[in-house]
Structure 1
Amino acid sequence: MLNLLAISGSLRAASTNSALVAALARNAPAGCRVTVHDGLGRLPIFNPDDEGERTPREAAELIDAVTGADGIIVSCPEYAHGVPGGLKNALDWLVSRDAAIAKPAMLAHASPRSLFARAALAEIMRTMSFALYEDAMLEIALLGKKPPEFDGILTEPVNVLAMRNALTAFADFIASR
């Protein structure tokens, strides 16, 4: 069983990105399990003085989850042409750890307009030595939609197929490493 960890870079209760990663978990193909990490909002601000024995429990949980996963899926919004602070903070907790090194990672998008954040996030993750899967991209446009509309869009057969195909391609990428 391939264990994938999905992280939404949004802390909003009605987040399109959180809805997308939850849908990925529900639509994982056979042989894949997608677990959603929902602890970004509880992470303290990264401080290098708090690493090692002083690592906060919330940060240690994230580090352990990334370490134990076979691959990572990140879906994040764009704020002011950048990566949201909560997600960047989470990535900062991983910088000096081995958890990110050569860890397969895939980006998923809930908005066709997040081009600046996509580029910035990909650069950050490549710099951290994630093995970023860039041959295929999953984008399901949820921008401007309300929670009642999410389910209808995310259960459309074409979108379910797109999610399964993206996860299958990502699983193949992981297996080929």
Structure 2
Amino acid sequence: MHILGLSGSLRSASLHRALLRAAAETAPEGIELAVYDSLGALPLFNPDDEATAPPVVARLCAALVTADAVLIASPEYAHGVTGTLKNALDWMVGTEAFVEKPVALLSASPRYVHAPASLREILITMSAHWVDAACLTLPVLGTGLDEQGIMARPDFVGALRNQLAILRAAVRPAERDGR
């Protein structure tokens, strides 16, 4: 089972990237979580460029297509989706990358209120399979924890492992079997 992790934050010390890396390190057996780290390299979306998308866009699309599911970890900016994440999603609108793909959210902040609804709307419009039961908020903001600190918390590790197990269960059996 291959899950692709996308972070909506470009900060090197991003709590959301730390959560994704901690989830990847502690994933249950049989689940590989690969964190995609090139969203910041995507050019600004321009519909005129869709037919001849740059290689970095093609690589993101290929990574999404080959993933069994997607886990998005992102902060909320101005009550919405980060520009980085929205730009990446805009590049994928005209592709099949999210069609029927199970998707869940991961947040480091209990103040993550408005962005989930916005992301849900965007992803459902793109025909993604929204897995509400696999969406998780861990109160990491303000704790000073980094990736290692997150992994040292059994309650956080248990919650991350449970989230990934729920997301895995949302993948259709034919997709899990590679058919």
If the TM-score is normalised by the length of the shorter chain, which range does it land in?
Answer: over 0.9
- Any idea what the Cα deviations from partners look like across 1:58-83, whole Å, max 9, x if unmatched? 11110010011000000110111110
Displacement, 1:149? 4.5
Q: Provide structure 1 residue ranges, at least 5 long, that are not aligned to the other structure.
A: none
Displacement, 1:101? 0.9
* CA distance in structure 2 between the partners assigned to 1:162 and 1:175 by the alignment: 22
* CA distance in structure 2 between the partners assigned to 1:134 and 1:176 by the alignment: 19
RMSD: 1.4
Number of aligned residue pairs: 174
Once the two structures are superposed, the pairs formed by residues 69-108 of structure 1 within 5 Å of their partners are 69-108=67-106
* Correspondent of 1:57 among 55, 58, 76: 55
CA contact under 8 A between 2:18 and 2:147: conserved in structure 1? yes
Q: With the length of structure 2 as denominator, give the TM-score of the two structures.
A: 0.92
The equivalent residue for 2:11 is: 12
1:35/1:67 CA distance change after superposition, 3 Å: same
* Correspondent of 2:168 among 166, 171, 174: 171
Percent identity reads 44
| Secondary structure of 2:135 counterpart | strand
* CA distance in structure 1 between the partners assigned to 2:150 and 2:72 by the alignment: 20
More strand by share: 1
| Secondary structure of 1:25 counterpart | helix
CA contact under 8 A between 2:16 and 2:107: conserved in structure 1? yes
1:29/1:175 CA distance change after superposition, 3 Å: farther
The runs of 4+ residues in structure 1 deviating greater than 2 Å are: 148-151
